[in-house]
């Protein structure tokens, strides 16, 4: 609806015109039962312990790298989005990254997109949502030039603890190898 037209609507229809304008632009407060508040519990600062598989989907013996640090989750855009700032260190070095999470109301799903600050590149997004208290997100990526599937699972374990696991599949999702486990505890 054109704003100039909205301003010339007779007084008796102003409320109806305003509500129609808000519906068209999405400016009205949204229904929060559709999933867009699924990550609200995570807002704040967390202590994070991370284990990363050194060489995923390889024939080598599993070697897990250990990291510890913080994860800070901040809301964006009236909580229809949020960003996770991860900073962890360990004997193998440092990981600094951001995870941008965006809610897509039409599909009632979230996209999660990670960026490692070392190279500044966005990874392909994973998509999904929460069912029965567990968040599951899936997407496609590449590892060493070959296509893979990615699964990211979020498990809230009470008010002050959560786990985050990432797994890769090279057989279209028939089998999965976990390669990232983060355990967060609220400060």
Nearest to 91 by CA among 121, 68, 113, 59: 68
Nearest to 68 by CA among 84, 53, 88: 88
For residues 81 and 153, membership in a common domain is answered with yes
For residues 132 and 170, membership in a common domain is answered with yes
Tell me how far apart the alpha carbons of residues 143 and 126 are, in angstroms, rounded to a whole number: 15
* φ/ψ of residue 23, rounded to 5: -65, -40
Q: What is the structure's pLDDT at 133?
A: 87
3-state secondary structure of 100: strand
Note whether 52 and 63 are within 8 A (CB).
no
Neighbours of 48 (CB within 10 A): 22
For residues 99 and 21, membership in a common domain is answered with no
For residues 4 and 85, membership in a common domain is answered with no
pLDDT values of the chain reduced to their tens digit, one per residue, 187 residues: 443 333 333 343 333 333 333 333 343 344 456 799 999 999 999 999 999 999 999 989 999 999 999 999 999 999 999 999 999 999 999 999 999 999 999 999 999 999 999 999 999 999 999 998 899 999 999 999 999 999 999 999 999 999 999 999 999 999 999 999 999 999 9
For residues 53 and 109, membership in a common domain is answered with yes
- CATH number, position 162: 2.40.128.20
Q: What is the structure's pLDDT at 27?
A: 39
In angstroms, what CA-CA distances link 111 with 1, 124, 136, 163?
Answer: 30, 10, 11, 18
For residues 24 and 67, membership in a common domain is answered with no
Query: Measured between alpha carbons, how far apart are the two ends of the chain, in Å?
Result: 47
- Could you tell me the residue range of the domain that residue 104 belongs to? 32-186
pTM for the whole thing? 0.81
Angle (CA) 187 182 108, round 5°: 95
For residues 21 and 102, membership in a common domain is answered with no
Note whether 154 and 126 are within 8 A (CB).
no
Neighbours of 49 (CB within 10 A): 16
């Amino acid at each position: 609806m054109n704003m100039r037209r909205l301003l010339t609507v007779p007084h008796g229809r102003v409320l109806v015109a305003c509500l129609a304008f808000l519906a068209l632009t999405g400016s009205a407060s949204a229904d929060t039962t559709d999933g867009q508040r699924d990550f609200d519990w995570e807002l704040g600062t967390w202590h994070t312990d991370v284990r990363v598989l050194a060489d995923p989907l390889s024939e080598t013996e599993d070697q897990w790298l250990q990291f510890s640090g913080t994860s800070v989750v901040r809301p964006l855009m009236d909580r229809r989005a949020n960003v996770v700032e991860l900073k962890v260190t360990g004997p193998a070095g440092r990981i600094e990254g951001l995870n941008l999470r965006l809610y897509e109301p039409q599909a009632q799903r979230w996209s999660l997109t990670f960026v490692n600050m070392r190279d500044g590149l966005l990874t392909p997004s994973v998509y999904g949502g929460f069912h029965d208290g567990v968040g599951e997100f899936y997407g496609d990526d590449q590892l060493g030039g070959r296509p893979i599937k990615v699964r990211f699972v979020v498990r809230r374990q009470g008010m002050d603890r959560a786990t985050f696991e990432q797994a890769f599949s090279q057989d279209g999702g028939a089998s999965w190898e976990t390669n990232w486990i983060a355990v967060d505890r609220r400060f």
